[in-house]
Structure 1
Amino acid sequence: MALIFRWLIRIAAALIVLIVVTVSTVYWLASRSLPDYTDDVTVRGITAPVEIVRDNANVPHIFGQSDRDVYFGLGFAHAQDRMWQMIMLRRTAQGRLSEVFGAPTLNIDKVMRRFDIYTLSVQSAEALDPKTKLALEAYAAGVNARLAQINTEALGRGAPEMLLFNAPMAPWRPADSIAITKLMGVQLSGHLEAEVIRARTSLALTDQARLLDILPDSPGSGVAALPEYAALAPGVRRHAQNMPLDPHPLSPFKPTALAGASNAWAAAPSRSASGGTLLANDPHLGFTAPAIWYLARLELQTGGVIGGTIPGMPVVLTGRSAALGWGLTSAYLDDQDLFIEEINPENSEEYRTPDGFKAFETRASIITVKDADPVTLTLRWTDNGPVLPGSHYNLASITPPGHVTTLSWTNLSARDTSIAAAMRLMEAKSVQEGLAAAEAYIAPAQNLTLVDRENIAMTTIGAMPRRDAGHQSQGRLPSPGWIAANRWQGTLPYAANPSFVAPTGGILGNTNNKTVDRPFPNHVSFLWGDTQRVQRWQRLMQNREVHTRDSFIEAQLDTVSFTARSLLPLIGAELWFTGEAAPDGTPERQRQRALILLAGWSGEMNEHLPEPLIYAAWLRSLQARLIQDELGPLADEFDHVQPLFIERVFRDVDGAGIWCDVLQSTRVETCPEMARLALDDAILWINETWGDQLESLRWGDAHQATHDHQVLGEVPVLRYFVNIRQSTSGGDNTLQRGKTKGAMPDPFHNVHGAGYRGVYDFADPDSSVFVTSTGQSGHFLSRHYDDMAQLWRRGEYIPMSLDADLARAASVGVTTLTPASE
């Protein structure tokens, strides 16, 4: 026995040593790729030394003797901190993820290849002006200089992920930066799925009058009644099984509810306490670790610019110079139209056009798949755009037999000059110059808010499709592609885009709300991203005669839900303070406790309160009860509460109260009954998930921000090191927007919100502030991987200064790039 015991001790000791050695080796290999910020690197591609001064938040301030050298420095800095992220963005745009990850990402690659955005990016690079080309080439050279340093000095392949996934790193090209711009367009688009959902809902509903209940127009003048989708596409199946979106974290395809969003508002000197203009901007995207945003300052020949960049793109997309500030919000411009194309029954290689049948443009594309055989696709294009697979956003469910579905989309331009517009914007000195610079912008459509020292403005940038007034569905439903009136007729001139310059009230803003009410075909959109946050924003802006930087920050961080304040009195009108007190421990008593809590609630979606969780669960259960019997399996697609739908039903607008009646039952249910049953459903779910002590609930426990690593985030043990989870305030409809996941088992996880916040004060520009949701580094062993995360969660910021001395005073390192001697 003693001998066995000694051998067990020896084996255990050996295992411990082996584990320690293994962990130490892995740590050493991973840490090799941590960049040395105090370094002197000899590189080719610059004409004079370049300094990358990193302030104490690791924001690089890049100084060079020419713009070309500065763009080179930004490329080098991006590659130091976000190499893996850049490579993944490029692979996604190219449709080459499966080379690294195998079959799980094959469907993503198939759709991206069909969009063919990388080929379009290569073509767009040739259409750029010489100055923009030079900047993109310089940026690419900077990225490649870092790659060369990694290879020469054996720096762990540049990122820990590159060691785990042995993927080759091709040199960076100018087209790669354009491709990432187009990839952002994929992530921000929502009209494609919206058309499919509208078509499927039209097919599911027996009463077409109810379509505008569940998919209502934003408040404002209405539109003419649309045709039933079955009339546009005869033969289509009325009920089809849901095909959920690819859940892979790297997928750029998001449901409409998680498409782009953002906030921006500006104040003229007349509405500013300091007498200078103010601008606040917080663009919203899906949360990841690291965040998509990267803070940087570029000292160009026209002056310094500072703000948020996206690694892979050499532009400050939201930020300021000494003279001008700019911010972006998703415009919700209808820049996508689906078409049903009829295939020639005599020749499957042809499709019907207004002039007869015509051959598809075709090209073979081979996808290399790790640990599997390559897959060959035949890419097909029509005059209207690429042919898409039936699995994409459930297109098969609305496509008749003998037809295919294609997409017209401004993002599929082969002469995309959007990146040139962004570069010109960085050099603009005034609102008027900024407006002029944005004319070259194509996609994805944005609302651009501008402030200089005297003026404020907001305009929609991006190409607006020119549609025929006789379009059968006005672009709201997939339409027959062979009918000339349905096809696009080019794009409208830039002057047609909505623009607001120097408003008399002195305040401008956008929360993705409806900006103009114009008749079709100059309508901009029927689908807008917000009808709720704008109500709270208007109140906060008009409650003060003048604003300050701090009041703009307060608005940016506001967590009061207008939706909760307006809907709770409506749905609970006949439930509050009615009936006798129920015995403890009964469902009726739990309902009364919940109603008492909600009755005294201000509507603030604070992470420490129980009421937001009760409210959110109640509304979710209520909508599910209202739509399940009418929509069947399609109801699963409506996993986020539609406030206008709930309001229409409970106010019985145009007979919408009929949704409260359960079709399958013999009696007629009322809306108060449905509200009571839904509250019981919500309390039951809360009891099972979070416990029955309602007063002890915390909204933040359910509303965790999920900044997850897109590749390593699900790896056991490692996920605890790479994922950043935080209890957060806010909700779907608050200005501090924390869009919830919607899907079970964690429907209230905060998955989409402000990855960047910035507030700029032109009375004292260097008092401006900004922050991102994680940190500057993409390396999970770096202290800068998550050092901004708690600042962001608490609503704090870091200085946004163009003062070079301030950056140097507490820098974490200075990297000097020295030109190599020829």
Structure 2
Amino acid sequence: MRTILTAMAAAMLMGAAAEAAPSTYADEVRIRRDEWGVPHIRAKSDAAAAYGLAWAQAEDDFATIQEAVFQSRGRLAELKGPAGIENDYLVHLQDVWGTVRRRYARDLAPATRKVMEAYAASLNAYAAKHPDKVLPGLLPITGQDLAAATTFRGPSFYGLDDVFRRTLRPQAQKLALAEPKLETGSNGVAVAPSRSADGATRLLVNSHQPFTGPLAWYEAVIQTDEGWHVAGGFFPGGPFMLHGHNAHLGWASTVNNPDLADVFQLTVNPANREEYRLDGAWKRFESHWVEIKVKRADGGFDVMRKEIARSAHGPVVRNDRGVFAIRYAGMGEIRQNEQYFAMNKARNLSEWKAAMAMGVLPSINYVYGDAKGNVGYVHNGRYPVRKEGVDWSGVVPGDRSDLIWNAQLPFAKIPQVWNPKSGWVFNANNTPFQATSEADDLKPGAFSKTLGLQTNMTNRAWRALETYGADTSITAEEFEAYKYDLTFSSRSDLAKALTLLGAFNAKDDPDLAAAQALLKDWDRRTHRDSRAAPLAVLTVLKLLQTPARPPVAVLKETMAELRTHFGRIDPTWGEVNRIRRGKVDLPVDGGPDIFRAIYGRPDPDGRLRGLAGDTFIMFVTWDRAGAMSSTSIHQFGSATLDEASPHFADQTPLFAAMKTKPVRFTEEQLKGHIVRDYRPGE
């Protein structure tokens, strides 16, 4: 029997034959690099621009693009060994490639496919010119690969992968869920003319992502004669801007976490494990076997066989507690690129809302601003229309077909706030019921409990209310200063945990008493010069992650670690908190769940190496007359992989100093700043 992997390979080869891009694409596009190495793609057609963008991205980070392709093909274990098995299993379990093969030609508009296929053709051309950089089994890359990437990756942003993990390994997940931790995520803020000191509209684009890898931001500017003109953040291997701006409008993205997936417990026929009960009758699972190729440490490969089963609900997993099916938002959907393309090209609020009304993107908050002074917040999601009166928060009975939802809530009915009287909106991965000033906030009673809307607040959300929300006349300087806020709110989890560290009697231990005094006097700011921040932040992080441990024991452990690496319990935060990139090693302000977000992991020398958090940041302004300007910064530079490039870490000093550079959006702004001008292949 032919395996699914064999079918997938055949489909990709067939797709490649149909996706041959005209050789004229390279002649229709120019790549202009500015002094920061940022590619400005100028082309006649949208497809030619995608061809140029792919070439520029491949020049800067072809290895990550290749990894992203293998990941969405369900072949990551060929590169990563056993660490890639779970990824590959989930690709098959979610039927990513079956969905792509069935729907690619049918569901995607010809113009969208043309852009995706031109992008893929450019990657193939780059690979042909640089065969020494190509991983075995990569080629050809097709437009279907791009569709598979968004099909697989999209639902992971609302935590679908965690739903599968909890179902596959309930005991391991039970332990993990018992360990609370500081929130991670992103920031987005939009301020209307009524709240700006100068009558401008301002937008903060501030997603928090890993510093490297397939989900690390790549900055580019695209302009075509067909009306595609955007600046912002792209993912490796993707042709469409995911957040940023065009001349008329822009948006920021933050991760949200509504309840968009359900786990159904199935009753399996004791006489035939291939059947499950539905509406009083036995129904047969759809099932087949797949092969996952796994790289060994010696360079060879093993082949693992896995059964893939589906019920009427969706993918099926078995664990020691039974058999479960998972139904989730985004299942069977491949049009995410279609919606992003429409958002990229929207010229006004009506067109942007029309793009959003496609209802394709599985989740993600959007904070919006435009040249007309409109601001808005959308707690986006493909919300299932579930049966009322049922507890959807846990495992749902799987023997009733009336619980298998199919419809989704229309865009007009999902949580959103537009042009509030307060003149501002925000999100920092918090509840949609606190998105602006209190009088304008959404009310929980207006939405069905079946939506599972989140109710949490992060430190960043509290600080948004305490900075942007407390200032009714925000200047340009204040708008940026609030973004780089370094404080933990008194209402934050960290502040609450600090009270535990001051609750025990340390009079008989001079060292503990000194530590306690240091923490008591801390202003809760993560400034690089702070001598209390290292002890406070590191101790509280451990305390939140292992709440069963006595606070005094955690504090002593942190004190010992600081003495080992720094010779004292109060080094400056800048000595501890670092951004390291090649030969660049700099102190950074901020920290976990701070508006200036930095998430680090200890290096052998005890310093925290920043690995995620603030990455690509953009400030966008439309002045009183509607004229647009923007600035941006990347934590490293445009050459996200090439250590020999001058742009490997050239933006890092600016990033560490919490400063930005101009975005050269128009031809006039770019004039005089072009360092290199070439066509793909030159």
Task: Decide: shared fold, TM above 0.5.
Answer: yes
Alignment of 1:422-571 (within 5 A): 422-454=340-372, 455-472=374-391, 474=392, 476-484=393-401, 486-516=403-433, 517-518=443-444, 521-522=448-449, 524-527=451-454, 530-562=457-489, 563=492, 566-567=495-496, 570-571=499-500
TM-score (norm 1): 0.71
CA contact (8 A) 1:549 1:759 kept: no
What SS does the aligned partner of 1:405 have?
A: strand
The match for 2:139 among 166, 170, 185 is 170
Q: 1:421 aligns with which of 339, 342, 349?
A: 339
Q: 1:494 to 1:290 in 2, by over 3 A?
A: closer
Task: Work out whether 1:698 is the aligned partner of 2:615.
Answer: no
Q: How does 1:113-152 map to 2 (within 5 A)?
A: 113-126=92-105, 127-151=107-131
User: CA separation in 1, counterparts of 2:234 and 2:560?
Assistant: 42
The alignment status of 1:410 with 2:410, answered yes or no, reads no
Residue 96 (1) aligns with residue 75 (2): yes
Paired residue for 2:209?
A: 285
Partner of 1:795: 658
1:420–1:440 contact (8 Å) kept in structure 2: no
User: What is the percentage of aligned positions where both structures have the same residue?
Assistant: 23
Aligned mates of 1:195, 1:726 — CA distance in 2: 39
Task: Tell me how far 1:702 sits from its aligned partner.
Answer: 4.3
Deviation at 1:433, TM superposition (A): 1.7
8 A contact 2:26–2:679 mirrored in 1:
no
- Displacement, 1:285? 1.8
Q: Distance in 2 between matches of 1:294 and 1:378?
A: 37
Match of 1:734 in 2: 594
d(CA) in 2 for partners of 1:169, 1:53: 28
Residues 622 and 48 (structure 1), Cα distance of their counterparts in 2 relative to 1, 3 Å cut = closer
Match of 1:74 among 38, 42, 53: 53
Match of residue 261 from structure 1: 185
Per the alignment, do residues 680 and 769 of structure 1 end up closer, same or farther by CA in structure 2, a change over 3 Å counting? closer
What does the per-residue CA deviation read over 1:428-451, in whole Å, with 9 as the maximum and x for residues that have no partner? 111222111112242340111221
Cα deviation for residue 55 of structure 1 reads 0.7
Q: Equivalences for 1:642-653 in 2 at 5 Å? A: none
Select the residue among 727, 742, 762 that pairs with 2:622.
762
CA distance in 2, matches of 1:360, 1:548: 61
Give the direction of change, closer, same or farther, for the CA distance of 1:450–1:278 in structure 2 (3 Å limit). same
Q: Residue 590 of structure 1 corresponds to which residue in structure 2?
A: 511
Report Cα offsets for 1:399-450 as digits up to 9, x if no partner: 52xx22332122322x332211111111111122211111224234011122
Shift in alpha-carbon separation, 1:183–1:384, aligned structure 2, 3 A: same
Structure 1 residue 369 displacement after superposition:
3.2
How far apart in 2 are the matches of 1:358 and 1:287? 47
The structure 2 residue matched to 1:614, chosen from 532, 535, 553, is 535
Give the whole-Å Cα distance in 1 for the aligned partners of 2:87 and 2:215. Answer: 21
CA distance in 2, matches of 1:818, 1:105: 33
Decide whether the 8 Å contact of 1:267 with 1:508 is kept in 2.
yes
Q: 1:775 to 1:406 in 2, by over 3 A?
A: farther
Give the Cα–Cα distance (whole angstroms) in 2 for the partners of residues 360 and 375 of structure 1: 22
Q: Secondary structure at the match of 1:809?
A: coil
Q: 1:181 to 1:355 in 2, by over 3 A?
A: same
- 1:778-789 equivalences in 2 (<5 Å): 778-789=641-652
Q: Which residue number in structure 1 is paired with residue 524 of structure 2?
A: 603
Residues 570-589 of structure 1 mapped to structure 2, 5 A cutoff: 570-571=499-500, 574=503, 588-589=509-510
- Does residue 298 of structure 1 match 2:243? no
What amino acid is the match of 2:561? I
Q: Structure 1 pair 92/427, CA: closer, same or farther in 2 (3 Å)? A: same
Q: Give, in whole Å, the separation in 2 of the partners of 1:145 and 1:747.
A: 42
Quote the Cα distance in structure 2 between the aligned partners of 1:538 and 1:291. 29
Distance 1:688 1:526 in 2: 44
Q: CA RMSD in A?
A: 3.5
Which residue identity lines up with residue 681 of structure 1 in the other structure? K
Match of 2:148 in 1: 179
Question: Partner residue of 1:771?
Answer: 633
Q: AA paired with 2:383?
A: M
Number of residue-to-residue matches in the alignment = 638
Distance in 2 (CA, whole Å) between partners of 1:53 and 1:360 is: 54
Give how far 1:477 is off: 2.1
The structure 2 residue matched to 1:365, chosen from 290, 294, 298, is: 290
Supply the distance in 2 between the matched residues of 1:118 and 1:747 (Cα, whole angstroms).
43
What are the residue-to-residue correspondences of 1:262-341 with 2, within 5 Å? 262-288=186-212, 292-300=216-224, 301-302=226-227, 304-341=229-266
Q: 1:680 to 1:296 in 2, by over 3 A?
A: closer
Query: Residues of 2 paired with 1:261 and 1:182: CA distance?
Result: 21
Contact 1:703 1:749 in 2 (8 A): yes
Shift of 1:791: 2.1
- Give the CA deviation at 1:325: 1.4
SS of match in other structure, 2:119 = helix
State how far apart, in whole Å, the 2-side matches of 1:119 and 1:738 are: 39
- Gaps of at least 5 residues in structure 1 are 1-41, 201-235, 246-254, 391-395, 583-587, 629-673, 708-719
Please say if 1:380 is aligned against 2:303.
Answer: no
Query: 1:73 corresponds to which letter in structure 2?
Result: G
Shift in alpha-carbon separation, 1:122–1:314, aligned structure 2, 3 A? farther
Letter of the 1:780 partner, please give it. Answer: E
CA separation of 1:346 and 1:705: change in aligned 2, threshold 3 A: farther
**Structure 1 residues 627 and 603, CA gap change in structure 2 (3 angstroms):** same
Residue number in structure 1 paired with 2:676: 813
Task: Return the alpha-carbon distance in structure 2 between the equivalents of residues 605 and 259 of structure 1.
Answer: 16
More strand by share: 2
Distance 1:431 1:170, change over 3 A: same
Q: Which amino acid aligns with 1:172?
A: I
Task: Give the drift of 1:780.
Answer: 2.5
Matched position secondary structure for 1:369: strand
SS at match of 2:383: coil
3-state SS of paired residue (1:131): helix
Is the CA contact (8 Å cut-off) linking 2:630 and 2:663 kept in structure 1? yes
SS in 1 for 2:366: strand
Q: In the TM superposition, what are the counterparts of 1:184-195 in structure 2 within 5 Å? A: 184-185=153-154, 187-190=156-159, 193=162
Structure 2 residue runs of 5 or longer lacking an equivalent are 1-20, 434-442
Question: Match of 1:374, SS?
Answer: strand
Q: Under a length normalisation based on structure 2, what TM-score does the superposition of the two structures give?
A: 0.84
Give the partner amino acid of 2:478. S
Give 1:64 shift.
1.5
The CA distance in 1 between the partners of 2:182 and 2:151, in whole Å, is 18
1:228-247 matches, cutoff 5 A: 240=171
Q: Answer with 487-496 or 734-743: which moved more.
A: 734-743
> Do the aligned residues in 1 keep the contact of 2:49 with 2:222 (CA within 8 Å)?
yes
Letter in 2 for 1:343: V
The separation in 1 between residues aligned to 2:130 and 2:674, in whole angstroms, is: 23
Cα distance in 1 for residues equivalent to 2:343 and 2:480: 25
Structure 1 partner of 2:3: none
Shift of 1:727: 3.9
The one-character-per-residue Cα deviations of 1:177-228 (angstroms, maximum 9, x if unpaired) are 222223433542336647987x99xxxxxxxxxxxxxxxxxxxxxxxxxxxx
Structure with the greater alpha carbon radius of gyration? 1
Match for residue 712 of structure 1? none
Residue 569 and residue 86 in structure 1: after superposition, are their counterparts in 2 closer, same or farther (change >3 A)? closer
